[in-house]
Structure formats: C-alpha cells, structure tokens
Structure 1
Amino acid sequence: MPRRRGKARPLAACNNACVNAWVNAQSPLPPPRGATAAETAYQRLKALILDNLLPPGTQRLEAELAMQLGLSRTPVREAMLRLQQDGLVTVTPRHGMRVQPISAADMRDIYDVLESLEPKAAELLARRRLPEAALRPLAASCDAMEAALGTGDRVAWARADEEFHLGLAELCGNRRLSAMVMQVWDQSHRARMFTLNMRPLPERSTAEHRATLVAIRAGDADGARELYRQHRQRGGAELIDLIERSGLAWL
C-alpha cells in the first residue's frame, strides 16, 4: 500500500526556515533500504510539494535545495528532473525548479483522466475475483474512513481515501494503468488537501467507496465500474466547484 503522508499544511508561502524544519523532522527516519541519494532527494522534495510546504509558484535553486536536504547537487538535479516528468515542477538551467500551479482547468483535465482510468481499474479488480484476504486493505481503508467520519478527523479520512484509491489501482492487475493512476493522483493531491476543510463531511463519498467494494467482492464488474465512474465524476465536480468559488489565484 502507498505510504501515508503527514498532515498537510495550508496552501501558503513557506520560507527556507519552514522547509528546513520539515527536513530536520524527517531526518530520524531511515531511508528505504538500498535507496540512492537521488531517490532520497526525490521522495523528500515530492513530499514537500504534495504537502504544500513548497506551494505552487515556489522557485528554488539546485544548490539551495541540496543544502537544505544535506545532499550533493547531482542527486538533487536528478530528483528535479524526475519531478518534472511527474508534472510537478518545471526545471530551468541555472534557475533551478519552479513548482507548477494547479488551476480549475488543470483539475478538469486530471479528473477526466481519473474518470476514465479508475472505473476500469475497479472493473478489472472485480473480474479477478480475488480472495477476501487480498481485498482486506480496501476494507480496512473503508473502515478507517468511517471511523474518521465519526470523530470528524478530515485528515485521517483523506489518508484512508487515498489508500483506498491507490490500493484499488495496485490490485487491478494492470501495472501500466496503476502507474498512470498514481502519477495523476499525485498531481491532484495538493488541490484535494486544500479543499479538504471547505467541503461537507464526506459521508456520501465514504458510502460510495463501500458500495464499490461490495460490487468488487461480488465479482460484479459492470456494477463496480459504474459505481466508481459516478463517484469519480461527482467528486471531481465538487472539487472543481470549490476551487472556482475560492477565487484562489495559484500563480
């Protein structure tokens, strides 16, 4: 299952001291076994971007990032180029990287892609007829969403929601489809976290996850696909409306 991210920060400018504090907080955590310096730089920079500690429009020089991460410039440069491939930054020679903004138009594009890919993943997973043990992570995510609703913990709910979506993609049996879903999901993470406290408690969304899981367990491929399509369509429309009504200029 995908790793859990920390509590998201508000979408606001974050100075070097803020970034340094985040990096220092991460230092006690050992890097993944066998991780290269480039992989470590990539994972840490990606987390800073997705958690809005490096918000849209932020410009950072390669040397500055290397100093903050305690790494040499070469792995940081490699990490920046990977982040550019992910669509999260733009890299300019001698000017470092600039974090890409996300607009309502961007989110429409992203949700068009998700609305095509994720329902197919649900269909494929239902057709696989996996044993209950293999589906246990999805059930656990549904349980966690329902528990978070009970306590009003939106961050815990968002974490469980993310684990359900990415877990379903991982289990669908199509590695290329799964990789595409995960890349697009990362691009939309910042917008989802920004709107998290602007929306009503996601009771309907939680029920839709549970209903999709029921269809998957039953091997109802058509039902799982249609339920997930409706869920993704409704959720995307809600998020885009919130962004538009917020009046936020991301650049």
Structure 2
Amino acid sequence: MTDKRQSIQERLYELADEKYRVFSQKLTPGKTNILGVRLPVLRKLAGEIVKEDWRAYLKEAMEDSIEPQVTEQGNEAEASMEEASMEEVLLQGMVIGKCKADLEEKLYWTTAFIPKIDCWPVCDSFCTSFKITNNHRERVWEFLQPYLWSDKEYEIRFGVVMLLDYYVLPEYAPLAFAHFDRIVHEGYYVKMAVAWAVSIYFIKLPGLTLPYLRDNKLDDFTFNKALQKIIESYRVEQDTKEMIRGMKRKKTD
C-alpha cells in the first residue's frame, strides 16, 4: 500500500462517527466494513484527491479487495486497514465522478469500479456522482446495456439507477420500460430499484408512464412497490394517488 492511500485510510478512520456507523449499518444489513463517515465529508475528501494524482490512487485502489478482515473482537469499525471500508469504496466512486477526465477515461475507471459495488449506498452514490452522463447520454446508454442485461444483482441495480438518474426523458422512457419488463431477478435491491425507477418515471412523465402501469410485465412485488412509492410522493396529487391505489394487485394463493 502506498503512503498516499494509507494516509487516506487513516483520515477516514479519524473522520468516522460511531453513532453514524451504527445508523448506517442498520440501513445496509450484512455489511461489516462500515466506518461511519458522512457523505458530505467524503465528497469534500474526494474533491481534495482529484486535485492531486488521483489516477495513481485509483490504480492502486482498484487492485485491492473490498472485503474487510474483522478483528477477533468482532469490531467491524476496526477492519484491517489493508482492506477497503465501505467509505473508501464510496470515496473511489466519488473520485471517478469528480475527476477531470474525458468520458472514455471515466468509463474505463467505471468498468474497473463496478465489481466493487456490493451494497446500495455505493451503487446509488456512484450513479449520482456520474454527472458527465448529462452531456453524453447516447454513449453512456450504450455503456449501460451489458449491465442492464446482467444476471448480477448490483450490476443490474447500477444500470437501473443510472436510468432513473439521467434517462427520465420522453425519448428514453419506452426503452427503459422495455428493460424493466425484461428484468427478471429475485434480488431485493434489483426489485426495489426497478420500483423506484418506475415511480420516478410516473412522477416526471405521468402521461407516458400511466399506460405502462396499466400494461406491464413487472412481478407483483415490484409493481406494488412502485405504486407505493408513487402514493408516498409529495409531488403526486391526491386524486391521482387514489387512482394509483386502485391499481394495486391483490395477493393470490
């Protein structure tokens, strides 16, 4: 490990908040390598890294495993500093998003980064940071296709969250709906991503999305979760919410 990466890991440990670690762990069941560093703090640190030799940092970071070595006492926050915490993986994604590089180089780093996505916070934070998509939608759409067709839970979620972040547009809606209908995966975080995406499409493009809600191939769980998210939105009128409630699928024995 280089001195630079070690110093970054040491800073992450210094910035950790135990109460926030406990809170974060409740939101990400099964994750044991959480330090408890808040997202605004990570974004600030990423901004500092991109002003330096960020390529060298990413190159070394991408070569390392993301699974922690937990101490004998079982304290997850004391995972071996030879391994990356969830926060360091979040940080790497933010560096890719913030770095001054052209699209193809960012996609190169993204390809290396995606296998490290193993929880929804890393996935969703990375998608949010990849704002270069706004200027290159066609090329990024092409890049996303293998992930949308993947059989891996977090690769699919990555693709779906990218759609809801950057492709809620009339010209992309039919293509997105076709993907949602085709995705068949039992992973909870896939189903919830699709439900979330469908709700965002309805909220922003109700005229295009309502026919899809009335005729789609979504499984009952995903469909009903999408309706629930629409109903919970403050951006949807009450009479529309009543209509959406009436579309809920009944459980069948």
Normalising by structure 1, we get a TM-score of 0.29
**Bigger radius of gyration, 1 or 2?**
2
Higher relative contact order (CA 8 A, sep 6+): 1
Normalising by structure 2, we get a TM-score of 0.29
